[in-house]
Structure 1
């Protein structure tokens, strides 16, 4: 049983947005320099990029990950299989990635973190987002799931097996319900413009988890990039707070590594969780000396109760 001091601890969480092959040894070092307690990876490591996943699996920090649509790029759909660069009768790069991550991959699963008194639960892995059920054969063969209802039930199985009352949800695409404007966290920013492109099964699982009395301080995901396709006048909204105080964080700032005036910079979304409540979330860029060269505050809790003297 955790002590009161354990429950009141502050946890520094790094959320790593869509990687798209932009992962280097320096990223793992940067996480250490940032003093991160827990790293969460929202997927899209690359187009079934086994070697990138191998490097991330080797990161020596408490971590959890979920696969994105690109992580089954040559396996999930008919058109993807037609472009597959390897012999699918002899190799299975999707399974290779899952094997490398092991229990760290929480898609349709969960991972308990006793040191932090919380459980990370994954939503549907390999999600493309949207209100239509896609890649039927892939989900049926891999997971025995045939529709959104069965997918919600699969996520809730993980919730019911969680060892802790505080649950962080990790998805690739976020849930429905965060807005239908193209700039909203899961809004459609391609033609036809607008519409909620979140995952309905994810939203249903979160709602049921609240009804179970679990605390859900954070739901984090990626997939819908911060740079909008239909306009350069603004960026996607990264954070949404619901009426229950749950913070929804889209961490997909792509590309996550860039060159600026000769400096190589890499981004991480940092979340401060205190006593099971999100206190702050920010996007930081770190240079080659592991210094934070810029920080964009995305959320700060405004009604924090002052500590008793």
Structure 2
């Protein structure tokens, strides 16, 4: 019987490419990762690695074991869900990768709810862009990803990944107060602050501007939406931002409705093998309830 933790490390090696990268990602020492992979190779009884110059690479047998490892980890997910459902209390640790806006607006309330209802459940959360976080979800590094989908820009449907809906969040153009901008078309000469190149959000914003008859003047770039907001407050840019950024009015900023009143969809993405785990269900429920209480006028997913 092969050690599942060592199989996990091998899968992480296949994903990251080097032992040092695995150690850094998992906060282990390089020597510890190296020793565990060497023990796995002994257990398997066939070379899993080969040297190519100065680099360590997987052998064909190594790739085969990686595929087996992913299947073993999925089976463990399913078994854990069944065993956890039989326990009298929800306990353990759930690891979340979340959008910045959701973390800022909801997580204080979500953590309070979970602590009251399930005091033995530990929540670990990190703000991450969904593109990288979904890779971590597939690699069993996190248990849930809170992601967004913009109108007309659906995320790739990945095998083994389930989506649990949260709700809809309106998108508006944030402009400096007194700018005179009353529609997206009015912003044709304004400087825009956009998310990094290649992101789905940036692509969507650019498409909205083109539909309004102009190419956005991308003067500033940041993945941090609060940085976007600071540029707007300072009067140097405009930005399309979600309503979760504006739970209270922000001095120096006016919000302009966009054509068609578009909304982004907020979703929880989990491995299909783990979607019935009590901790996953409890986290999803707490997020929905917090969102519903925060903005009862919003469309929040039921069930």
Instruction: Pick the TM interval, shorter chain.
Output: under 0.3
Higher relative contact order (CA 8 A, sep 6+): 2
Task: Point out the structure with max Rg over C-alpha.
Answer: 2
Length-normalised TM-score, structure 2: 0.23
Higher helix share: 2
Length-normalised TM-score, structure 1: 0.23
